Structure 1
Amino acid sequence: MKTNRWTRHAALLLGALTVLLSGCTSYVTSQVTAFSDWSGSDATRTYAFTRPADQKSNLELTTYERIVGNELATHAFRQVDASAARYLVGLSYGIRSDMVTVAQPVYYSPWPSPYWGRPFDPWGPWGPWGPYPTAYVNQSYPIFTHLLGVRITERASGKEVYNVTARSSDDESSLVRAMPYLARSALADFPLGNGVVRTVKIPVDKNGGISNEAATTSASPAAAPAAASGAKVVQ
């Protein structure tokens, strides 16, 4: 429980920094975790989506299946009827909102007039005899955590062969706008090795969509898989 709590706090802090720096960044960053027992070949990558009975007519899920299907197609997967599919693909997804409070420094000047900053005050926050006392004001920011899970099983045996999750935290309040980044992050360099945890950064184009630039990934040296063509792995 303590580990989960500290992990959540770290994720929220990272999200807060993302909000603060959103004006100077052009990437969506996701943490990806994969568990794998994959041994399929390109010739056998036929699949069908599977979903619970109460989700058969869920339009939101249909939209996300289409997004994930586009990414699967880049890895030689071909969608077919469930009765002819070798693999079944199931999705899980969600969004959670939190408020993060960050202490911002405020400089206090002992002079009777307010602190105007340069060029009116030649010392800035530093007086002629040293720094002015520093106070802090708490500012709160909304943080949204998005999650996508992709689970692949063999239809005939029911054996799970691949399970990957992608998680991102930022100021984006819409899951549907975050989903293309989650899907690309989750399936980048498919298939990853078992137990791989890594960070994927996807460039954003000037119109707010996914850039055509290659995703940048980072993983621990012991767990990093060989990179697929077009992807840059940074240790």
Structure 2
Amino acid sequence: MKLDRRTRSWGRHAGLMFAALAMLLAGCTSYVTTQVTAFSNWDGGSDATRTYAFQRTTSQANSLEDSTYEQVVANELATHAFRQVDMDRAHYLVAIAYGTRSDMAVSSAPAYYYDPWPGPYYWGRPYGWGGGPWGPWGPYGGGYVTQSYPVFTHTLGIRITDRASGKEVYNVTARSSGDEASLVYAMPFLARSAMADFPLGNGVVRTVKLPVDGQGGAPNEVAAGAAAPAAPASGAKAVQ
């Protein structure tokens, strides 16, 4: 009976501990962290001159994927007074490039265990294997476990050129890494980060953190057949 009471007591303590941990995690905000690199020769101009058209390669011309990502970028450009017009009326041309790379990462972590029934004997030997009632590793075990897991790096590049002269005036790249495999999910975060605080100075490299909403969604969800509503870039947190 004494063993049963100890078991029940340990179970109650463990249950309370996990419940407290769940409440703590529920109150935390998740972020997507993106590294942004910008090269700029932006001369300012007025809102009236911020007309643009997307510049596409032959392979992009009839791509549904490209047109979907262009709409996400267009939403962010709109927050900076850019207006999409026909090619022959555009002051600027905007080109996008994107991609995903998959790598394997390896990590090592301590392996833990807990004996809920400590006593003067451990595995048939008094006081463990050398020093104390829990054996040589203490009450929580020892050793290391090595694990491999995939890491996905998503990249979005936005290039703005003056249509009349062909001169590049702004070139920004946003890159994020994590366990999310979907570029569709990552694209709104990349676009928001790339255009946050436009225009950045030449050669600026910084980190942008964007919160994930309560449903685990992106700041601008990709919507098929319709533009997602533009949202201000003020939600971005920049770490210089």
TM-score (norm 1): 0.74
Provide, for residues 22-65 of structure 1, a one-character-per-residue CA deviation record: whole Å limited to 9, x for no partner: 99651000000000000132221000000112221011000000
Contact 2:33 2:209 in 1 (8 A): yes
Using the alignment, how far apart are the partners of 1:80 and 1:163 within structure 2? 20
What amino acid maps onto 1:67 in structure 2?
V
1:189 is matched with which residue: 194, 197, 211?
Answer: 197
Q: Which has the larger radius of gyration?
A: 2
Cα displacement (A) at 1:210:
3.1
Indicate the residue corresponding to 1:63 in structure 2: 68
1:147/1:121 Cα in 2 relative to 1: closer, same or farther (>3 Å)?
farther
Q: How does 1:1-235 map to 2 (within 5 A)?
A: 26-41=30-45, 42-107=47-112, 115=113, 117=114, 119-121=116-118, 128=132, 132=137, 134-210=142-218, 214-219=235-240
Look up the equivalent residue of 1:177 and give its one-letter code. Y
Structure 1: which 5+ residue stretches go unaligned? Answer: 1-21, 108-114, 220-235
RMSD over aligned Cα atoms: 2.3
Taking structure 2 as the reference length, what is the TM-score of the superposition? 0.72
| Structure 1 outlier segments of 4+, above 4 Å | 22-25
- Identify the range of structure 1 (207-216 vs 176-185) with the bigger mean alpha-carbon deviation: 207-216
Mapped to 2, the partners of 1:89 and 1:154 lie a distance apart of 9
Q: Deviations over 1:167-220 (max 9, x none)?
A: 00011110011000000000000000000000000000111223577211011x
Counterpart contact for 2:39–2:171, Cα < 8 Å = yes
What runs of 5+ residues in structure 2 fail to find an aligned partner?
A: 1-24, 120-130, 220-230
Partner of 2:155, secondary structure, is strand
Give me the whole-angstrom Cα distance separating, in 2, the residues matched to 1:25 and 1:143.
Answer: 21
Partners of 1:63 and 1:121 lie apart in 2 by 60
Query: Which deviates further from its counterpart, 54-63 or 205-214?
Result: 205-214
Aligned residues: 187
CA–CA separation in structure 1 for the residues paired with 2:70 and 2:36: 19
Q: Which amino acid aligns with 1:75?
A: H
CA distance 1:121–1:183, change in 2 (3 Å)? farther
Tell me the secondary structure at the aligned position of residue 142 of structure 1. Answer: strand
Sequence identity (%): 65
